[in-house]
Amino acid sequence: MSSNWKHIYSLYLFLGISCSTVFSQDIEPKQDVNVDDLGNVSDEFQELFFEALKQKAITNYDKAIEALEKCVEIDSSSKYLYLELGKNYLELKSYQKAEDNFNKVLKDKPNDRFILELLFETYFQQHKYEESTMIVEKLVRFNTMFKEQLANLYFLEKRYNDALTTLDELDDEYGVDPYREGLRKRISSKVTNPNSQISRLEKKISENPKEEQNYLNLIYLYSKNNQKEKAFEKAKLLLKKSPKSEFVHLALYKFYLEESNIQEAINSIKIALISNKIDKKSKHKLINDFLLFVDKNSQYESQLLNIVSLLSDNENSGSVFTELGHYYYKKDDKEQALNFYERSIKNNVNDFTLLKRILLLQLDLKRYEKAETGSKLAIELYPAQPIFYLINGVSSIHLEKAEKALDILGVGIDYVIEDQKMESDFYKQMSAAHQKLGDTTKASEYKQKANQLQKKS
């Protein structure tokens, strides 16, 4: 199986989702049958057997089974019959019948990888995790990457130590993998007594003190077990053993912040942010953590901007920039809030609330051309939202486009439903537009309408 597929399938395993189609596509159809494979059989047998293959090919599984059953009546000795019956029953989700037929084949071919894979799928679809595990333990002999599925199955059986040990074996053989690290954390979160895992990692570190991942796993376990001092000591030890380690700073910055060693925390944050090895999600969490710190310690706000400058717009940083926008919006720093919101919207173009806030800030800061352009696009996305027509009208008035403003305000007010405050705002802007055009009578009329509604609201 390809490594990418295995990650996808492992996710299905972990979530307990049915995935027979995905699994079936990955199994190589190496069991093609020709006349010689069938042995010395009658013409009628051959005709029925290949009719079954034809019907299966066009997804007529019931008819394929019917033809195969007739073959069994003629000669029940051919194992190909039970293989094909199993495959057809599997397609029909008749799992027990599929299982029975595959087991008939497996008696003669106990180490056939193809049959084992089919049987594994059949067991798993029935949520028979213990049987699934037994099969995958055999499949590991063919390809050790099956251990990824094995770790997931151990998790489903609540064999957490076995699951983590299996992941360690994979890391030792193939190196660290982001998917497996995520899986490790999910499994570790279920471990109520991590002492055996801690002891095992301590032993691995003593045997191989240069292996970075063992330290990182141990730091995580100590932290999760609320042994922060031990976790901090291991992080500092790793930095001493491996001064160029970048991943260790994902742990160190938290410890430095907690002991108010702010400069060291900032240095760790910067190292992590410019790292090509650390994933975007971890970088975003790091910035969010520092943002929470700055919210309580405003004297380090200048450092926040310095740190954020290391995070590029092309790193899918929309959520981080949104949080930064919220931070400055609460502080009434409209310039900075708008700056981060505008960077955020690149990855959140359909976010109604964010879009509205950006446009209102642009009006407040007299960015009328931007507000006009943005509100026009917003109307295309949300044609029944009156706020965007109102913003477009206000922008047009300030850009000396009074006639255009009246047109757009006239359309937008029809979408106002039971909102006297907004309806009043529309009339105020219509009054302003008529005033610009020199029609004082209309301007006064709409101003009066606005005032009447304002009194009611």
* Average pLDDT value for residue range 371-400: 96
**For residues 130 and 113, what is the distance between their CA atoms, to the nearest angstrom?**
19
Which pair of structure tokens corresponds to residue 405? 């403003």
Percent of the chain scored above 90 by pLDDT? 57
Which domains, from first to last, does the chain contain?
17-126 (1.25.40.10), 362-457 (1.25.40.10)
For 376, phi then psi, to 5°, come to: -65, -45
Give the number of other CB atoms < 10 A from CB of residue 116.
22
For 235, phi then psi, to 5°, come to: -65, -45
Instruction: Report pLDDT digits (tens) over 132-180.
Output: 999 999 999 998 889 999 999 999 999 988 998 899 888 888 887 878 8
pLDDT tops 80 at residue 452: yes
**For residues 431 and 441, what is the distance between their CA atoms, to the nearest angstrom?**
9
* Confidence tier at 37 by pLDDT (50, 70, 90): low
pLDDT tops 80 at residue 443: yes
- Residue 269, Cβ density class (10 Å: 0-12 exposed, 13-18 middle, ≥19 buried): buried
Amino acid identity for residue 366 in this structure: K
Instruction: Report pLDDT digits (tens) over 200-250.
Output: 889 889 988 888 888 998 998 898 888 999 999 999 999 999 999 999 999
- Residue 85, Cβ density class (10 Å: 0-12 exposed, 13-18 middle, ≥19 buried): buried
pLDDT tops 90 at residue 453: no
pLDDT tops 60 at residue 33: no
**For residues 270 and 280, what is the distance between their CA atoms, to the nearest angstrom?**
14
* Average pLDDT value for residue range 322-330: 92
Which pair of structure tokens corresponds to residue 335? 């310039």
**For residues 340 and 324, what is the distance between their CA atoms, to the nearest angstrom?**
6
Measure the CA angle with vertex 442, ends 437 and 443; round to 5°: 70
Give the number of other CB atoms < 10 A from CB of residue 215.
25
Which residues neighbour 353 within 8 Å (Cβ) at sequence distance 6 or greater? none
The three-class DSSP label of residue 193 is coil
To which residue do tokens 């509100």 refer?
Answer: 375
Amino acid identity for residue 433 in this structure: A
